[in-house]
Structure 1
Amino acid sequence: MTKDEYGDGIIAKVTRAADLLEQLQAMQAELREGREEPQYERRDNARGDETNPLVWVEWVVTKTPAPLPLAFSALLGDVIHNLRAALDYSTWAAVDGGIRETDPRGVAFPLYDREADFIKWANRKKDWYAKPTMDAIERAQPFKAPADRLHPLAVLQQLSNVDKHRLLNVVEYAAFDLGPVGITPEPVVKHYGAATGRVEAGDVLVRVEFPRPVEGHEVELRPTFGWYESVPYERDGEVDYLRIDWMLTAIYQMVVTTVADMDVARRIERGEVDPNAEAERGN
């Protein structure tokens, strides 16, 4: 990034986000060190229900720890705010002074899940941004992601919108992994269900059902539960829970890449960089 007035502001926001992210990670580690793990117990019908052709096994929460402190959510919101601001600063740097004075609220980095919405925005703003900047903005759009993948900046946009009005809802998510099943022949699982999001005492973490094995064959189930600080993310009417550490790493990396791309675009527009050389380097 260039060492100019606006470039320095972008760097300051990204650096601040990195510092806050370190503080969040330190708080996360400290909380994990001092918090009690959730407790659960196993229930099944392996004994006393031999006439049932299906065996069911479930793990039920018996005790949950105290909720995470509000300070954790507030700090997460600060990370999100600074990363979103870095993107907005990059568009502020790309427009001329007249636009900044006449329509300051209109200068913001757009993030769209649908290409049609982005095209509408681009048509409205076509006189605001030169082609290199417009191309850089388009490259960062969430609609560019494959349909089966979350785009980090789409997540950033939703969390930023939530944080403007209330604290982000941080929950502990129960991740479950069913280990090898030692039975011959191996059963076909008839049913599998796992909890997502916040769980309370009495909730079923996981339930599996499978054909009852013939007498003398043993079934070994090895569940692994992982408890991670997560935030809910809504997409197409469905709510998923995103593990905070992985999510923030992806968002931070994407923001850094995007603001750097925006800076190169500005330098191309000022004649400081050969666009052909940049295109070759990108390839």
Structure 2
Amino acid sequence: MVARLRGVRLKIERAKFQCDALENEIKAWVESQRSHVAFEHERDTGWHRLIVRMDADPDPPPMWGVIVGEIIHDLRSALDHTVWELVIANKGRPERNRNQFPIFSHPPKRVADYTKCVRGVDPRAQAIIEGLQPYTRPKRATPELIEVLGGMSNIDKHQTLHPTVVVASRINSANVDFAPQGLHRVAEMRWDKSLGQPIRNAELWAVRIEPPETEVQMKVNLQIPAGVAFGERYPMEVLKLNELVTEVGRIVDLLEPFASK
């Protein structure tokens, strides 16, 4: 370990410790909740719906949002701290409110907005940092981990990250056995294609049968695990926080050789 990055590594270690402790606490809480799948039939429209309902209080402890904010702060600070030390290692003088690890989802409208962040950093390290920018992969299907980190960090500066219970797995027609009674026609199906959604009264899957009064027997062929997610624009389940810790550690590993001058 490069001595000047010791503080950076300690922040990452602290974030990892917090993640593991929070993950265990959330797992115990989720397992203590009582949830079940309800079947609903709208006779006027013909929709038959599978709904997740929770019998216990579905609101997780708000303190978890504060803890996640601390984890996010440590990780964001670790990246900014690394850039600070890279400037010093390159015989430069870091500038407060300027030098920081840039996280740009889109190419900067003003080049100066980006270059001020890495001013004084070895050009080879600058090239690595630029290659990590989300905007260099415009066709990405999901947000980059550092993109999520930047977004959550900005939110946490102004408000508490709100924890929300979510359904953690996808569901589709292959997971459901449904047996309409008598002559019928399947007019339409729908299901959530995302990785999760709020668990209270969450519609998992639905089918519209004609005629609308047709009775249908349904059975779900999978367990429906629940998780807890944080954030708004890019909700992140707590299990993903450990991936974020690993990613920040990987970035620091890439830049560490330029901090040893």
TM range (shorter): 0.7 to 0.9
Find the partner of 2:40 among 32, 38, 43.
Answer: 43
Question: What residue is the counterpart of 2:236 in the other structure?
Answer: 242
| Secondary structure, aligned partner of 1:262 | helix
Contact 2:86-2:259 at 8 Å conserved across structures: yes
Contact 2:38-2:51 at 8 Å conserved across structures: yes
Contact 2:98-2:116 at 8 Å conserved across structures: no
In structure 1, runs of 5+ residues without a counterpart are: 235-239, 271-283
Q: Which amino acid aligns with 2:228?
A: E
- Which of the pair has more CA radius of gyration? 1
> How far 1:37 moved relative to its partner?
2.2
1:143 aligned onto 2:135: yes
> How far 1:254 moved relative to its partner?
1.3
| Secondary structure, aligned partner of 1:229 | strand
> How far 1:62 moved relative to its partner?
6.2
The size of the alignment, in residue pairs, is 247
> How far 1:106 moved relative to its partner?
1.3
TM-score, normalising length: structure 1: 0.73
Question: What residue is the counterpart of 1:277 in the other structure?
Answer: none
Question: What residue is the counterpart of 2:148 in the other structure?
Answer: 155
Report the CA distance shift for 1:204/1:81 in structure 2 as closer, same or farther (over 3 A): closer
Q: Which amino acid aligns with 1:231?
A: F
Find the partner of 2:121 among 115, 121, 129.
Answer: 129
Q: Which amino acid aligns with 1:115?
A: P
Report the CA distance shift for 1:91/1:156 in structure 2 as closer, same or farther (over 3 A): same
Find the partner of 2:20 among 14, 19, 22.
Answer: 22
Question: What residue is the counterpart of 1:99 in the other structure?
Answer: 93
TM-score, normalising length: structure 2: 0.78
Quote the Cα distance in structure 1 between the aligned partners of 2:47 and 2:30: 35
Question: What residue is the counterpart of 1:172 in the other structure?
Answer: 165
Tell me which stretches of 4 or more aligned residues in structure 1 moved more than 6 Å: none
> How far 1:59 moved relative to its partner?
2.0
Report the CA distance shift for 1:21/1:210 in structure 2 as closer, same or farther (over 3 A): same
Quote the Cα distance in structure 1 between the aligned partners of 2:66 and 2:87: 32
Contact 1:41-1:62 at 8 Å conserved across structures: no
In structure 2, runs of 5+ residues without a counterpart are: none
- Which structure has more relative contact order (CA 8 Å, sep 6+)? It is 2
